[in-house]
Every structure is written in structure tokens, then in C-alpha cells.
A and B are shown apart, each in its own frame.
Chain A
């Protein structure tokens, strides 16, 4: 158990819909990262937040957004969903901005029908 929790575990929705994925980092970790894992794209870095502020951006679509709240939990919002958005979405946390060690949550499996 990495100490990172993600909800929900599974999510099934339809094209065009909007969903919110939630992540609670390990206790004391200030940095949260979001990754998307799909069969065709592999594991892609989406975005990083540190202590409430966006710090790095990867291959995140404009239809996707994220935020980190004062209690350090983070949410990833996916809107206007397409079939190709079906993937595993992982959250990871680390103690500081440039920690080498990153602790991954169990992921949320999103299926868009």
C-alpha cells in the first residue's frame, strides 16, 4: 500500500460526459502528479501540482483540467469525453517538488462507451 488513495476505482460513462477523479496523496506529501495509461499511448505524464499550484504540464488535453486543494487532495476533471479517453488514470505523490521517489495510487479505470 503506497498510501496514495484514488476514487473511484472504476468509472463507466458515455461519450460527451464529464467525470471527476479524485486523489489523496500520502500524508505529508505536497506534490501530486497525474498520469494516463492506455494501450496505444503507454504511460503519459499529464500534470503536476505542488502545494496547490500547477508546476509542470505534460500531454494534457485542453478538455482535461486538474486542481489541488488546500488539504492537498487533487481532482482531475475530464470533459467532453471521447472513446479514446478510456484508460487507467494514476495519481502519484511525492514529498517535495523534485523528489526522486514517487508513490503511485492504484489508479482509476475509466471506460467511455
Chain B
């Protein structure tokens, strides 16, 4: 199947770390992605990880990939109110980078 699943909602306090989780199904996915969608806007690519990596860090963002369990997570350090948005993970289905399967999205609410 092509299901990519995420928890629906996460609430954190400003300054705390946020961890958004995702499970995917296609073991042949070459790349896995995290996108951010702010209210009324399109999706913005935050980061991606190649399937042969376990971890990728980019400033406040850390992506962890557990390929055995098909589990992907996004950690946002020092979460700010501006990080409030919906976060989507996506996998490149069938190894093809042009066909992305998106998760259900996690709404991150950051409380001041």
C-alpha cells in the first residue's frame, strides 16, 4: 500500500522541542521529506533525507530515519510560535523522486 501515517496533532510550549513522527510503507523509497504548510499557503520543503542515512541535522531541525521500522521523525529544537503549522512527511513512492506520497499531516500548535 501507499499509506503514510502521522499523528494528527501536537501541542508544545515555546522553547521546548517538538517531535513529529511518521510511518511509511514503501521500503524502496529513495528519499523521505518533511514539508511545512502555513495557514492559507502552499507546502514548503523543510528538509529531506536519503534512505541510506540515519540522521540529518539542519540548524534547529533533526531528521531521524529508522529504515527497519519504516519510521521517520522530525525534531524541532527551541520551537517558536512561528513554527505553528501543519507538517507533512512524504516518501518518494517506488523509488521515483517524481511521485511523492504525502502523510496525513500533523498540526503543530506552539503555545507562548
Listed in ascending order, the chain A residues whose CB lies under 8 Å from chain B are 2, 4, 31, 33, 35, 42-45, 48, 55-56, 58, 90, 92, 97-107
Contacts and interface: CB of A to CB of B under 8 A. Distances in A.
Interface residues of B, number: 20
B42 A43 contact: no
A109 to B, nearest CB: 9
Interface stretch (B19-27, B58-66, B95-103): B95-103
B42 A48 contact: no
B98 A92 contact: no
A62 to B, nearest CB: 19
A103 B35 CA distance: 11
A105 B42 contact: yes
Nearest to A91: B42
B42 A92 contact: yes
Nearest to A105: B42
8 contacts: A35-B102, A42-B103, A42-B105, A44-B102, A45-B102, A97-B98, A100-B31, A104-B44
Contacts of B104: 42
The 3 closest A-B pairs by CB, nearest first: A104-B42, A43-B102, A98-B97
Contact of A102 (B40, B45, B105): B45
